Structure 1
């Protein structure tokens, strides 16, 4: 994703259908020169947390509705809202907040980390 003078590659970038760029044949474009609607980062042991947070904040500054930062080592998830407020989730049974456009999605903290173990 290239926008706001930077290029970032989140682990997961979610776009509403109507915002997915298409080429002249109607196929999904090879490059996305816009912010994701929802960005999800999974922190790896050797990854710099500050750099990852900076990328999430860059997304939020440019129109992204929500960012998640998953820390598998600590089994916790930071949720960054569009207003840059941050919530910490570590109770495995709690349903995580999602952007309004994805409100039908119901994911528990524990489900997310179970997927990462598979």
Structure 2
């Protein structure tokens, strides 16, 4: 079986594509438009709970789902982008600008069953290279969370391993607590 290489396009042309905002999200990496896999139930539950707990743990940061972040010649859509309120550009009406043109402070990705871990890790590393302070990749099949920070070795957390969060976010979590959110009817 042979695989033909994807056609490359310029970032400016990618951002003008008519189907760009269709679900699931499209991303632009290395000159190629790639569509993320459609989230499944476990993915959606983890995403929802992460948004809730981060938003309730800080007044300095907000957690946003599926926010397009365009920077460093990429346009990616993390599952959860945690951004300091003071990093969000405000327009003359006092509302946030629609286009977010930098890396989030904390990027969180939830691995889907058919998603390639290396693609996800590559996007997290790209974020870290461009100013992001923290990256998580949740693997619901392995009940593990890969934590990436600038200039440090990656760390895999399972069980009661405490998870690193951003300074200014008053949140204490373990991998076990995160994946317990998947136990339907036993909400923590």
Q: TM-score, normalised by structure 2?
A: 0.58
Max radius of gyration: which structure? 2
Q: Which runs of 4+ in 1 moved over 6 A?
A: none
Q: Deviations over 1:13-51 (max 9, x none)?
A: 000111112222111221100110000000000111111
The one of 98, 107, 110 equivalent to 2:173 is 107
Q: Which runs of 5+ in 2 are unaligned?
A: 1-68
* 2:117 is the counterpart of 1:49: yes
Greater CA deviation, 23-32 or 10-19? 23-32
Aligned equivalent of 1:88:
156
1:108 positional shift: 1.8
The residue correspondences of 1:7-18 to structure 2 (distance < 5 A) are 7-18=75-86
* 2:165 is the counterpart of 1:98: yes
Question: 2:103 and 2:168 mapped to 1: Cα distance?
Answer: 15
1:82 positional shift: 1.5
Distance 1:88 1:14, change over 3 A: same
1:117 positional shift: 4.9
Q: Which runs of 5+ in 1 are unaligned?
A: none
Equivalent pair of 1:57/1:84 in contact (CA under 8 Å): no
Aligned residues: 116
Aligned equivalent of 1:4:
72
Answer 1 or 2: higher relative contact order, Cα 8 Å, separation at least 6.
Answer: 1
Aligned equivalent of 2:61:
none
After superposition, the CA RMSD in angstroms is: 1.4
